[in-house]
Structure 1
């Protein structure tokens, strides 16, 4: 497509009203009221507007209209959310600025991700195309008293469509610029009177949008594909059994980082540029890289779960969820240069997890109703850390000649986690309009780990200073047996006041904890000792005040909440400039406070406007042993650490605003035209934990537009849409990373992309 054609599409579609991000599924009908959204935030089905918890909900239709198919896209639609994404291993979900700890194989996330009621032990387990999804629920604040694994920041709960006893299906194909193609299909129906099945599959390809000047190839794209199969056995209204199996794989060049900044110039010298010149590297930036080695990741993952629900004669419900998941990740990374500094560097990971949850829910509508249960989770994580230096390694690293040139090193880490929990949450209906809820959880965890590094191979024989550096950087190491034992309590106290049928006001106090973690790379352990590989628990105290309103005969939903959270022992990643490695640490005390708004409005049949936004002030109250930014760390006589108390937390935009508009109408001939538009804006954010002035993420705004036409065909409905993502071709970085010699690199967001989707539902 020519540039003028692109501009014509932008001009025509930019006339759409760009209001609010969808907070619920929009009905296909032209009824003037908003559809009721049912959630299971308290482990029983309830109207979202009657649950005294800060939450946002995205339904299937909203996800399809806004083309939100991947975890990293969700920050364009949800308040207080940031997704730090480089590839499946180095990804994390943060809520209210808490949880930016990617690439930590020995640590669970602060924000929990659940897929069909199964906790995902790695955020990367959710990095696949989110297709055939029924609903996404974002619960903000500690959620430990009911959800299977302790979480201190919040929960993203993903629910896929169930098998149906009525035959139905969907086939959709999309094509777009930069070689983008996506095909998906889903089929569901009865196998007999008591058994129904469902199968869904997808295949996605894209060329990428970052040009490698070294060979002319496009990077950042690749292939993703997967399937999900289900059986639902329902012999009566009192019992059902749902079996799910899924598999996903990826072969891509995800993880390609572009040069964001070469860092500071100190005493007239920019170290990154100076050493790049010394090794003969040619630097490029923007949507260009210059890599002489391969950039690739492969991901294979899958799992199975079995959920059983019994309705007992006294209307109590027993739920059992048994699950197993596995995840394999292998990278091949360049050193970001077009010369032989490194041949390959990275960390592969292999993860297996098993979980069992058992719950008992009392009948609803009594004076006192409750949910209680037990939970077991086992995770077996192994990783391999590898670095293969090239002949220019010493010049680039500033080490004595021969110390690292052509040297290879491989390390291995493993951690086995066993988690046991008992939990209960009950609600007293003190009066027809006042409810008091109390929740408790006790979690005991045991982590057994070890970290080793083999003796280096290759390179020339060295003595003196070169031998000392080689041993410090890549020498053999064995941590011996490491262990962590912890007991983590969680608690919730909530008061809800149903002012009338349209207004719910609530307040809550909660405490959440999650256990410590293990650095599964050697880092500075040979000097600091094996105990430096262990970090302590993260503890959160949270206070909330909120209101949910359903107004104008259910044509307007308007929700707001205030929150104040303090995290003690905040777990995060830091970067060691001396050893050129990331490591886990407890970053002191963090305070997150703010205001969140969420709204949907249906002013007339067929038109839905939605908006949400947040103001988050997320800072370190105390962090006096923090890594120093490059402008400090590279100066002569630099301190070993810096004080970041009072600084903003990495990745936390203070202001976030998302909005969307959707309008559909019906012509006399039965055809249904529609137009959709959404706008997402976030303010500046700190790019790396050291809060360097050279690693600040600028604010940016994205506009996505679509228009289409639907019509009936036999027993189904066809749909053809033209869509334009990032309509004004904004160049933006989603996340930043520390690089050697004081530079900072980042992952670029997708450029303007025009495409078309054809879909048939039957």
Structure 2
């Protein structure tokens, strides 16, 4: 306890010291202008960069959800897995940074494979992240999050067949803009955040953002009495160089790390009698059968450590004739180190998992024409270089042979490691232009050509352990025998195409339709193949998407209502399956998938100070051709026809709503209340659509209230909040675990807390 207090004290001193230094540096320079105060009597115009130029979101003919930094802060959303509570058609199965699966419209369920990027892409400050887990940290100092649904690629750096989550952080300002906040809550929750921005010289501004969050957790391991918690911390420094109105250079450096201790909770043995028999053979205590008790029973540690560093430079030039040129250079490194027990009280294995060390470099150049009455366009080039080193390892304990029912000495006290590497080189040329046929009709055409090459190698070394012969040696080699794939290579070219027609019926109604073709390249499985080396190579994923929708503004800009229909067909869908015998996952092309549905969003400002938001989606995502899928354990056989089954990780219904009301009193005191509600119907957590792997439907309600008090040019904000008000029990992911049990990651229970912040 004393050590923890000292750590909190040191962190608070660091925040205070940084605050003091920033106050000195951020004295307002002559000529700097603060943003005007918001007038909340009507809805504010939201500007997005979805088409690589700043536009009002209601003028962009594509389905896009925009979440402002204020909206995210009001709803205590600072992690990518929580964005689904505010946006339609977004779903995320989440355990930790490596086991995270982002899907949009039911497409993108790829929870862990280091040889392939996800179908739904994530960008931070215009930089593509090759792993969803690269965004699985506390997102600092958010300006805005944009969720683009449907195949993207004619403008964004990397191809994506499901959609894009575009995260934008706040840039340095030439006026003081500083924020400090401290939060505390149940389960040992403590959060510290600070951001400090201001001019350093007349032409250079700086911004420093930092955070630390920790929780003791709410799940108790009865074996040792410990609770499972998490610690995250992050730091981002920025410089904005702006010598004149025609040039700007934004430099960003950030660091994040996480130490997570979290065990999936036992759900069931499934239908296989052999699963429960394994526990009996090794003398393990029966798992705690009721996950609602928030307890586990395991003799080892489960969790991970994650480290991330990143640098980026974005330069923008305004050229003669109002043309513009943009260059974005970025480097990022991400390291994941797991520690996984066998989820039992017996020493079956002491640790297993797959480490990952990913690095990437990207360079993008864009040239944009001025906004014109007849035709405007954006053209560019993109290069991406990625390297992923993976090491799948097993450290078996003395009970491994009994657990697997193998001859003595086959696996007990044996260790194995299988390093692999995958390198990616991606090159693309792209362009998109809009013809303004007349004041009402716009025709947009986009084209992208991508060439991508991936090389890799998978090698498993001979296992380390006591020498054995006969049946024990045969069993050991069958599971852990030496293997070398040799050099692997996959390459190919792919087009992305967009055709969009929009009609401005009047200043407040936009009607649009579009046809899109997008492709995501193939990859390399960093695992030992079951049916020859050819199964290590995965083919490309191709998507064809059709959209029709409208965007409507009503009641003197107090109401927006947007809705659209979509139909998407994907061939060669890339999905992760579980090999029960090898106790590992693998990636394959599962055939074709169709996703179709309807989405809507509305925002209403009925009276001054009150804002209402609601959005939702109804999605039907099914396998249209999946004849050789893995059978669920309740079905006899190894291969089953899953054609017509639901795509895993795809809730059929999603609905989100929130309301905020703020009073403005004459004394400068502004009380406010905020409420949000989120619902998602059931989905399948495993690729085989097993009934034992269902994630049941659930809804979450959050409440908060507080008061803002003006203090000269500064402002205090004191709030009380409750997350998951009705203490709903739910899962953020369900998967097949050790010994073919089914295990789930439990979402946070009701949590009460308070936040104090100071803006100055």
TM-score by length of 1: 0.93
Instruction: Say whether the 8 Å CA contact 1:568–1:589 is kept in structure 2.
Output: yes
Counterparts of 2:564 and 2:222, CA distance in 1: 49
Unmatched 5+ stretches in structure 2: 1-35
Counterparts of 2:433 and 2:392, CA distance in 1: 46
The one-character-per-residue Cα deviations of 1:402-443 (angstroms, maximum 9, x if unpaired) are: 221111100101011000000000000011000000000000
Instruction: Say whether the 8 Å CA contact 1:261–1:695 is kept in structure 2.
Output: no
The one-character-per-residue Cα deviations of 1:532-569 (angstroms, maximum 9, x if unpaired) are: 11110000000000100011111001000000001100
Counterpart of 1:208 in 2: which secondary structure? coil
Counterparts of 1:400 and 1:38, CA distance in 2: 66
Counterparts of 1:131 and 1:605, CA distance in 2: 30
Task: Name 1:573's counterpart in structure 2.
Answer: 576
Counterpart of 1:528 in 2: which secondary structure? coil
Give the CA deviation at 1:741.
4.0
Counterpart of 1:64 in 2: which secondary structure? helix
Task: Name 2:372's counterpart in structure 1.
Answer: 365
Give the CA deviation at 1:92.
2.1
Q: How does 1:142-153 map to 2 (within 5 A)?
A: 142-153=151-162
Q: How does 1:197-216 map to 2 (within 5 A)?
A: 197-216=206-225
Give yes or no for the alignment of 1:659 onto 2:657: yes
Q: How does 1:218-257 map to 2 (within 5 A)?
A: 218-219=227-228, 221-254=229-262, 256-257=263-264
Give yes or no for the alignment of 1:669 onto 2:676: no
Counterparts of 1:485 and 1:462, CA distance in 2: 43
Counterparts of 2:407 and 2:127, CA distance in 1: 51
Task: Name 2:184's counterpart in structure 1.
Answer: 175
Instruction: Say whether the 8 Å CA contact 1:402–1:462 is kept in structure 2.
Output: no
Give the CA deviation at 1:28.
7.4
Q: How does 1:634-713 map to 2 (within 5 A)?
A: 638-713=636-711
The one-character-per-residue Cα deviations of 1:78-101 (angstroms, maximum 9, x if unpaired) are: 110111211111112110010010
Task: Name 2:126's counterpart in structure 1.
Answer: 117
The one-character-per-residue Cα deviations of 1:707-760 (angstroms, maximum 9, x if unpaired) are: 001111122000000000011111101111112444211111011100000000
Task: Name 1:507's counterpart in structure 2.
Answer: 513
Counterparts of 1:500 and 1:459, CA distance in 2: 79
Task: Name 1:6's counterpart in structure 2.
Answer: none
1:417 corresponds to which of 424, 427, 435: 424
1:385 corresponds to which of 389, 392, 402: 392
Counterparts of 1:32 and 1:333, CA distance in 2: 53
Instruction: Say whether the 8 Å CA contact 2:282–2:399 is kept in structure 1.
Output: yes
Give the CA deviation at 1:281.
1.7
Dislocated runs of 4+, deviation >6 Å: none
Structure with higher RCO (Cα < 8 A, 6+ apart): 1
Counterparts of 2:183 and 2:155, CA distance in 1: 39
Task: Name 2:348's counterpart in structure 1.
Answer: 341
Task: Name 1:446's counterpart in structure 2.
Answer: 453
Task: Name 1:47's counterpart in structure 2.
Answer: 56
Instruction: Say whether the 8 Å CA contact 1:404–1:459 is kept in structure 2.
Output: no
Distance 1:732 1:364, change over 3 A: same
Counterparts of 2:211 and 2:404, CA distance in 1: 44
Give yes or no for the alignment of 1:471 onto 2:477: yes
Counterpart of 1:61 in 2: which secondary structure? helix
Instruction: Say whether the 8 Å CA contact 2:343–2:738 is kept in structure 1.
Output: no
Q: How does 1:69-88 map to 2 (within 5 A)?
A: 69-88=78-97
Counterpart of 1:470 in 2: which secondary structure? helix
Instruction: Say whether the 8 Å CA contact 1:405–1:459 is kept in structure 2.
Output: no
Task: Name 1:531's counterpart in structure 2.
Answer: 534
Task: Name 1:289's counterpart in structure 2.
Answer: 296
Counterparts of 2:402 and 2:62, CA distance in 1: 56
Task: Name 1:299's counterpart in structure 2.
Answer: 306
Give yes or no for the alignment of 1:433 onto 2:430: no
Give the CA deviation at 1:390.
1.1
The one-character-per-residue Cα deviations of 1:621-674 (angstroms, maximum 9, x if unpaired) are: 010111111112xxxxx4331110000011100000000000000224221100
Counterparts of 2:615 and 2:206, CA distance in 1: 37
Give the CA deviation at 1:252.
1.6
Counterparts of 2:60 and 2:667, CA distance in 1: 42
Task: Name 2:28's counterpart in structure 1.
Answer: none
In the comparison of the two structures, how many residue pairs are matched? 721
Counterparts of 2:469 and 2:288, CA distance in 1: 35
Instruction: Say whether the 8 Å CA contact 1:259–1:744 is kept in structure 2.
Output: yes
Counterpart of 2:640 in 1: which secondary structure? coil
Unmatched 5+ stretches in structure 1: 1-26, 633-637
Counterparts of 2:711 and 2:505, CA distance in 1: 47
Counterparts of 1:534 and 1:696, CA distance in 2: 30
Counterpart of 2:133 in 1: which secondary structure? helix
Task: Name 2:525's counterpart in structure 1.
Answer: 519
Instruction: Say whether the 8 Å CA contact 1:379–1:418 is kept in structure 2.
Output: yes
Instruction: Say whether the 8 Å CA contact 1:145–1:490 is kept in structure 2.
Output: yes
**RMSD of equivalent CA atoms:** 1.2
Give the CA deviation at 1:29.
4.4
Task: Name 2:414's counterpart in structure 1.
Answer: 407
Once the two structures are overlaid, the 10-residue window that deviates more, 37-46 or 513-522, is 513-522
Counterpart of 1:603 in 2: which secondary structure? coil
The one-character-per-residue Cα deviations of 1:427-464 (angstroms, maximum 9, x if unpaired) are: 00011000000000000001010000110011451313
Counterparts of 1:91 and 1:472, CA distance in 2: 30
The one-character-per-residue Cα deviations of 1:338-358 (angstroms, maximum 9, x if unpaired) are: 111111010000011000000
Counterparts of 2:381 and 2:133, CA distance in 1: 26
The one-character-per-residue Cα deviations of 1:576-595 (angstroms, maximum 9, x if unpaired) are: 11222110110100000000
Task: Name 1:20's counterpart in structure 2.
Answer: none
Counterparts of 1:460 and 1:629, CA distance in 2: 37
